[in-house]
């Protein structure tokens, strides 16, 4: 449902690119858009991730990581002049057999309204469209219920996730 800020299909595509999609909004005043192509301000992105509790990473490394990701999705609060980034997720992977989803975040002020679910649905639709067979992710303890509610198979058949750090 398009709210008062009059986002036509032409403007949607011009500002947010091909495959942009409106996100169902909890608030008539709020137009929310999923975009795979609108460029990120990396400082704004790191602020979003910090708002959900993660440490900041060097901007240069984030830029390189985003450039080498399979998929990048921003959830934008639409504004005709300055859209604001309120959600994000990205995938790495080979685009065929495996994709791993990272950095899933919805700004705390926008949580609790089903936007995380819509973000995950949007990403999985993108992966289906790419022809990817399987997606994986690593869930922090605090968000296990979120992924379980969305139907993710957590730790199927005794699989464990393993981590290694370079330093």
Q: Give the contact letters, 47-86, x = binds to its own copies (CB under 8 A), - = no.
A: ----------x---xx-xxxxxxx----------------
- Helix, strand, or coil (residue 71): strand
**Shortest approach of its own copies to residue 117 CB, angstroms?**
13
Residue 58 φ then ψ, to 5° = -60, 135
Helix (H) or strand (E) holding 73: strand 71-77
Decide: is 158 part of the binding site for its own copies (CB under 8 A).
Answer: yes
Decide: is 109 part of the binding site for its own copies (CB under 8 A).
Answer: no
> Any catalytic annotation for residue 16?
no
Taking the least distance from each CB to its own copies, the nearer of 30 and 98 is 98
| Pairwise CA distance, residues 22 & 90, whole Å | 18
Decide: is 44 part of the binding site for its own copies (CB under 8 A).
Answer: no
Check 16, 110, 122, 147 and give the catalytic one: 147
Decide: is 149 part of the binding site for its own copies (CB under 8 A).
Answer: no
Q: Which two tokens stand for residue 91?
A: 């995938």
Residue 89 φ then ψ, to 5° = -165, 155
| Interface with its own copies: number of residues (CB under 8 A) | 51
Query: Is-contact 103 49, C-beta < 8 A?
Result: yes
End-to-end Cα separation, the chain, in angstroms: 48
- Positions touching its own copies (CB under 8 A) are 57, 61-62, 64-70, 92-98, 100, 102, 124, 127-128, 132-141, 144, 147, 151-167
Show which residues are catalytic.
147
């Amino acid at each position: 449902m398009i709210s008062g800020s009059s986002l036509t299909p032409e403007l949607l595509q011009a500002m947010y690119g091909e495959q942009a999609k409106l996100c169902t909004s909890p608030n008539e005043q709020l137009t929310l858009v999923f975009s795979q192509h609108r460029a990120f301000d990396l400082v704004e992105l790191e602020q979003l991730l910090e708002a959900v509790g993660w440490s900041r990473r060097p901007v240069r490394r984030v830029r390189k990581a985003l450039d080498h990701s399979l998929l990048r999705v921003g959830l934008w609060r639409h504004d005709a002049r300055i859209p604001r980034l309120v959600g994000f997720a990205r995938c790495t992977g080979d685009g065929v057999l495996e994709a791993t989803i990272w950095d899933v975040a919805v700004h705390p002020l926008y949580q609790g309204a089903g936007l995380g679910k819509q973000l995950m649905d949007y990403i999985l639709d993108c992966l289906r469209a790419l022809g990817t067979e399987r997606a994986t992710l690593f869930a922090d303890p605090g968000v296990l219920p979120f992924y379980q509610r969305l139907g993710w198979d957590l730790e199927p058949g005794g699989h464990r996730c393993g981590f290694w750090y370079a330093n």
